[in-house]
Amino acid sequence: MFSAASRHLVRTFNLQKKTIVSKPLVHFDKSNAQWRSGLNRFYNTEVKPVDFEAKYVEKIKAIAKREGLTVEELKKKIKDEAEKKLKNSESVKKNIVPKTTKKATADTIAAKSKLPYDSSAPTLDKLVKLDLLEKETPENIAKIWNAGHANKDCITAVIPSNIYDALYKRSQEYPMFVVPMPREEGVEFFFLQFNFHQCNFTSLLEYKTKGSEARPFLTLTHFPELQKSKGIVLMKGEINKDPRMLDTANAQFLAFALQQFYVTGGEEKLKLVEKFQKHPAEFDFQDLIKAVETLV
């Protein structure tokens, strides 16, 4: 759900001061050094190298005779064959394309969001009879959509086309952000990441701990199937129950905050999203908290 690149971005931020520890990184064991220096006593520097050619001269002559060559011709043949094998092996190495892990960045995530609709995301025809909705007015579709999910453990919305166009465009430019949500004891930061027409939320603590394996606490799925014909985009927000970390009020706040920072909240809020993406080292969480206070 969450990419490794976003984890690298999160690491850029200093949420708390770090203390410098004077403890050495490597513990030097003097007894180990003495043991290693003692090894030198076992080396005999007077030992002469073995003359393998003299040792196996009779065998070399026998092989040369069997192949109808002189000893010198046999040596040259062996040398030529060895050089040929070496060249062939080097040629093979050049043709092998090593597997490389492309380092994910905010730009690659943004590029990925421009690809066609993610096949893993649900489509509207799996939830409703799309042909019947096409016959209704936008107003009736909104009523049917919201009423149909009224007794379900999720949140829904009907987004005007122009608002969603702006949201989707900016989600490609700025696929990651953090939203502070007021709690009884201060605020809790939630990390969000877009993936095509979906947006996943998890706690910043969860993401810093587990990275790309972090569980999405909330997934907002936008359905653009009716955008051209009816001028609306349907949204459904599903709360993860394994374990459940948010209630519907929390989910509604995160969805509202998303809309405010990316589209409807004005230039100052959008600048925070842009700074988080492009200049993370300059991002100030206190400015973010002040911006959220205007939402509550």
- pLDDT at residue 177, as a whole number: 96
**Can you read off the two tokens belonging to residue 276?**
């988080």
- pLDDT at residue 72, as a whole number: 84
Point out the least confidently predicted range of 3-12, 68-77, 131-140, 250-259.
Answer: 3-12
Average pLDDT of the segment spanning 31-54: 39
Rounded to whole angstroms, how far apart are CA atoms 166 and 211?
A: 28
- pLDDT at residue 77, as a whole number: 80
SS3 of 151-182:
CCCEEEEEEEHHHHHHHHHHHHHCCEEEEEEE
In DSSP terms, 186 is beta-bridged to 183
Rounded to whole angstroms, what are the CA distances from 262 to 51, 286, 290?
A: 79, 19, 16
Rounded to whole angstroms, how far apart are CA atoms 243 and 217?
A: 8
Residue in the structure block whose two tokens are 């969450």? 2
3-state secondary structure of 31: helix
Average pLDDT of the segment spanning 41-63: 53
Mean pLDDT of the chain: 78
- pLDDT at residue 255, as a whole number: 96
Point out the least confidently predicted range of 7-16, 156-165, 236-245, 278-287.
Answer: 7-16
Handedness of CA 153, 159, 164, 166 (dihedral sign): negative
The band of 142, judged by pLDDT with boundaries at 50, 70 and 90, is: very high
Spatial CA neighbour of 3 closest among 183, 194, 223, 240: 194
Average pLDDT of the segment spanning 47-64: 61
**Can you read off the two tokens belonging to residue 228?**
């051209």
pTM, two decimals, is 0.63
- pLDDT at residue 37, as a whole number: 34
Amino acid making up residue 147:
A
Rounded to whole angstroms, how far apart are CA atoms 35 and 197?
A: 63
pLDDT tens digits, 156-202: 999 999 999 999 999 999 999 999 999 888 889 999 999 999 999 99
What order do you get walking across the sheet with 186-195 strand by strand? 154-160, 232-239, 218-223, 198-203, 186-195, 176-183
The band of 54, judged by pLDDT with boundaries at 50, 70 and 90, is: low
